[in-house]
Amino acid sequence: MYTKNFNLRPPFIIAALSVAVSSVNAQTNTARPPIEEVFVAGYQRDYRENEAESALGLNLKLIETPAAVSVITQDLLQDQQVNNVDDALRNVAGVTKFKTGNGGEERFSIRGFDASQSIYKDGARINNSFNASNIPSTETANIDRIEVLKGPSALLYGQGEPGGIINYITKRPQIERYGSIEVLAGSDDFKKIEADTTGAIGSLENFAYRVVATYEDSESFRNEVFRERILVNPTLAYIGSDTYVQVGVEYIDDESTQDRGQVLDGNNVQGYFYSDRLNREQFFGIPDWNRNTTAESTRIYALAEHKVNDIWDIAFSYSNTKNDKVNFDSSPVALVGDPLFAVVGPEGSAVDNLVAIGPRKSDGEGDSEQFKFTNTLSFSDGFGFEHQVLASYTREELSTDSTSFQGDQAVLFNIATGEYFDDPRTPVTPGLEEVRVNDNITFGLVNRGSLINQDFEEQGINILDYVRFNEQWAWLIGGRFSDFQDNTNASFDDDNFSMRTGVVFTPAEDLSFYASYSEGYTNSAGRQDENGNNIDPETSVSIEAGVKWQLLEEQLLITAALYDIDKEDIAFITNPGEPVLFFDNIGAVNSQGFELEVVGYITSQWRIQAGYTFTDTEITEGGTDAFSSTFTEGNQFPGIADHSFNLFSFYEIPIGTGDLGLGGGVFSQSDVFASLENRTEFDSWTQVDLAAYYKMDAWKAQLNVRNITDEEFLLTQSFISSDVFAAGRVGTSIPRSVTASIAYEF
């Protein structure tokens, strides 16, 4: 096996030591093979991985796996000069980027379903619906690759949305000495430095270290918006022939401006739209207030794997992520006294050109802890069938404690003059904590009490068996029992059994067909209705069929999948905006579609990553209470396009003693609805990127231009219920931007 350094560029034949360290993640269950020496002719970048153990936790190639799995490799991350996971995941068919959500965290959907509960790092959950706002944005410098498993994943991961999971795999120590430093600069005063070094510890042949560190200081195309971020990630590993042990610490300090995006003109009767009165560079928050947002994240993680004998492997993993965040927030709300719920004051009215911005603040911390123990057996039975059996126990605890504050009055902003000022109709309430942002802005803060104070624990036992009957047929069968408890409410205890099964038919070595059935659930997490009763968990069922075809001597992998997902007992807030929220289970939804991905390289110099997605989402059972007007049977999910397309390709040309790489990409999607009401639509869009680099010996210079045509388009927030709420939560495209970098390896 050859494990490449992510920036290694030798112009001649080299000998590379390879260990399986770089393929470790929290689902890995096989011990490390002995170090072997492999000769590699030149450097070859690749967008394709043969395995993704996030899928089943077994030692299977992608072509053998009865599920759709996508992998974003380090080479693709480097070619696109990715600085945020938004830009990385746009390369995956079936994944949709929403507008940045509450607190600045990343928000995505997979196959139409919000994936905010299903974001993992090295196989351990780092995000969930309750502590999402406490998490700083993800730093990409220490990410080796990103794996996306599509469809319900309760078998391995427990509760979560049925679209799938996103797993960030971080870089691992390796014995071979390697180091790099890269300096980046670009549009909007973007500046960043990244350092990465790994190798053996002194003369100890089996001990290795790795340290990744970054510093970023940047602004934005939007006024008032900035970010300053630090990452430090040291790791140590013992790499033996039968045993692998790793420990690491990841620390992120993130200071930024909370940016809620843009607004829409119009009203709730005539409809909402993006008008000439607006521009995407305008910041619709309170200056000198939102920019005080701070977040810290500390993740401590460890894993150990041991090959007991020829058929039995054991593995242990532990991860604890602590997040602390003080979020200074403000965002537009419907104008008080306007019966039509306008967000921008109608022209010629008493509130002409005015936008009301509501100040808020939250102080919260979240803690995600996971322990997992896994046994894997590989053997042949007495009937000549080959088995890979995985049995594991997982304990996961998710807690969060967040207190919220709200201003007693809105701050008014005039989009014509650019002025901010207090609303003269609502003076500060006597006795409240008074906040003076500047000479023109003063308001009182109301303590709304504990917005979230919850502690949940989930324990799961799962077993699965992948049976090879012969060279053509294989069968997967597995189930998981989960017990979900609310540690702050002894009366809440939610049990679930989920199963998964699938069959793989391989008529030829490079061609396979598969079909699968999988179940998922999302626990009710202690949510209660207005009568104090716990609501039901959400459950889901997915049926999927697909084909995987390797071409050009396994250089290129084509994956096509058809799927149909049903989800029932959807949980919704029935009294939005109130200090104490109540919930109810309302209706059911369906998502069905087709995905096509082409990944790999056509020649040794020409690599490609492409995908097409057709997604048909529908509310199949409407609501019956306060949400009946928006959760309407037959309506589509907001923000989810019927059609989306991505293509990125690079071609490398030897020039002189180095190599010139030229590439670019096209990313496109069709119209989307802004909310569940399905009245306001955002137009289709196409973004074009270009890139080039020149590498010679240990040096590399690179230039990336994003959105070269300066396309303007809008993005919605995930699963917004009403147009009036969507009108104050609008994401906008980033204008044409340039990033240049110089990297040196040692």
Pairing of strands 699-706, 737-745: antiparallel
Residue 678: CB partners within 8 Å, gap ≥ 6? Answer: 632, 635, 636
Confidence of residue 400 (pLDDT cuts 50, 70, 90): confident
Residue 19 has pLDDT above 60, yes or no: no
738 is written with which tokens? 């340039």
Please name the helix (run of DSSP H) or strand (run of DSSP E) that holds residue 583, with its range, or none: strand 583-585
Chain segment 151-164, per-residue pLDDT in tens: 988 888 888 889 99
Question: What does 128-166 look like in DSSP terms, one character per residue?
Answer: -TTTGGGPPPPP-TTEEEEEEEES--HHHH-S--TTEEE
Q: How far apart are CA 45 and CA 24, in angstroms?
A: 20
Rounded CA-CA distance 546/632 in Å is 32
- Token pair for 109: 């959907």
Write down the pLDDT at residue 35: 41
Q: Are 98 and 667 in contact (CB under 8 A)?
A: no
| Residue 170 within a domain | yes
Q: For residue range 661-671, what is the model confidence (pLDDT) as tens digits?
A: 999 999 999 99
Q: How far apart are the C-alpha atoms of 707 and 688, rounded to whole Å?
A: 5
What's the confidence (pLDDT) of residue 452? 66
Which one, of 689, 633, 540, lies nearest residue 153 by Cα?
540
Tokens representing 145 are 């690759």
pLDDT (0 to 100) of residue 135: 64
**Phi/psi of residue 531, each to 5°?**
-95, 5
Find the mean pLDDT for residues 404-410: 89
How far is the C-alpha of 726 from the C-alpha of 721, rounded, in Å? 8
Ordered DSSP codes for 92-115:
STTEEEPSP-GGG---EEETTEE-
> What pLDDT band is residue 126 in, cutting at 50, 70 and 90?
confident
User: Does the structure show a pLDDT above 70 at 424?
Assistant: yes
Structure tokens at 18: 């390879």
How distant, in Å, are the alpha carbons of 238, 499, 514, 517 from that of 109? 37, 23, 24, 21
Of 442, 441, 449, 411, give the one whose Cα is nearest residue 428.
Answer: 442
CA 558 from centroid of its chain's CA atoms = 23
Q: What is the torsional sign of CA 527, 529, 531, 535?
A: negative
pLDDT at 476: 96
| pLDDT at 40 > cutoff 80 | no
Closest by CA position to 298, among listed 399, 210, 369: 369
Residue 649 in 3-state DSSP? Answer: strand
pLDDT at 627: 57
347 contact partners, CB below 8 Å, separation of at least 6? 353
Closest among 356, 295, 355 to 328, alpha carbons compared: 295
pLDDT bracket for residue 620 (50, 70, 90): very high
Q: How far is CA 261 from the centre of its chain?
A: 19
DSSP 8-state secondary structure symbol assigned to residue 574: S
Rounded CA-CA distance 722/166 in Å is: 28
Which residues, 6+ apart, have CB-to-CB distance to 496 below 8 Å? 154, 159, 481, 482, 484, 521, 523, 537, 539
Residue 380: partners with Cβ closer than 8 Å, 6 or more residues away: 386, 387
User: What pLDDT shows up at residue 52?
Assistant: 80
Residue 587's pLDDT band (cuts 50, 70, 90): confident
Looking at 22-36, 485-499, 604-618, 662-676, which range is the least confident one? 22-36
Mean pLDDT value across residues 706-735: 91
Residue 450: its pLDDT value, please? 57
Task: Let me know if residue 7 belongs to a domain.
Answer: no
Which of 732, 742, 741, 723 lies closest to 221, judged by CA?
A: 732
| Of the listed ranges 19-33, 48-62, 367-381, the one predicted with least confidence | 19-33
Per-residue pLDDT, averaged over 613-637, amounts to 84
Give mean pLDDT, residues 41-59. Answer: 75
**Under 8 Å between Cβ of 61 and 512:** no
Rg of the chain on CA atoms, in Å: 26
The CA-atom distances, in angstroms, between 538 and each of 110, 186, 323, 396, 520 are: 17, 44, 27, 19, 8
Measured CA to CA, the distance from residue 289 to residue 334 in angstroms comes to 20
For 218, 228, 382, 627, the CA distances from 192, given in Å and listed in that order, are 8, 10, 59, 46
Q: Is the pLDDT of residue 45 over 80?
A: no
Structure tokens at 318: 């532990």
Q: What is the mean pLDDT of residues 633-645?
A: 95
CA-CA distance, 396 to 249, in Å (whole number)?
A: 19
In a domain, 6, yes or no: no
- Determine, yes or no, domain membership for 9: no
Q: Can you give the pLDDT at residue 432?
A: 83
Beta strands in 586-698 (DSSP E): 588-603, 606-621, 643-655, 658-669, 672-673, 681-682, 685-696
What does the pLDDT read at residue 133?
A: 53
Domain of residue 177 covers 14-745
What pLDDT is attached to residue 274?
93
Indicate the pLDDT class of residue 479, thresholds 50, 70 and 90. Answer: very high
Q: Which of 169, 240, 167, 209 is nearest to 22 (CA)?
A: 169
Phi, psi of 336 (to 5 degrees): -65, 130
Asked if residue 43 is part of any domain, the answer here is yes
Residue 689 forms part of a structural domain: yes
Average pLDDT score over residue span 470-482:
95
Query: Residue 575 pLDDT > 80, yes or no?
Result: no
**What are the structure tokens assigned to 166, written together?**
């996103």
Mean of per-residue pLDDT scores for the chain:
87
Helix (H) or strand (E) run with residue 376 in it: strand 354-380
What distance in Å separates the CA atoms of residue 257 and residue 228, rounded to the nearest whole number? Answer: 10
Q: Residue range 302-327: average pLDDT?
A: 94
The whole-number average pLDDT for the span 389-404 is 90
- 44-58, 183-197, 420-434, 483-497 — most confident range: 183-197
* Cβ proximity of 379 and 348 under 8 Å: no
> Is 339 a domain residue?
yes
Here the tokens at position 694 are 């020149």
In a domain, 3, yes or no: no
Rounded Cα gap, residues 443 and 496, in angstroms: 47
Cα–Cα dist 646/686, whole Å = 10
- Torsion over CA: 105, 108, 113, 118 (sign): negative
What is the phi-psi region of residue 440: left when phi exceeds 0, alpha when psi lies from -120 to 50, beta otherwise?
Answer: alpha
Residue 330 in contact with residue 225, Cβ under 8 Å? no
Domain count, the chain: 1
pTM, two decimal places: 0.90
- 3-state SS, residue 185: strand
Q: In CATH, what number is assigned to the domain containing residue 478?
A: 2.40.170.20
Tokens representing 728?
């104050």
Task: Please report the pLDDT score of residue 438 as a whole number.
Answer: 87
Q: Is 64 helix (H, G, I), strand (E, B) or coil?
A: helix
Residue matched to tokens 């022209």 = 347
pLDDT at residue 362, rounded to an integer: 87
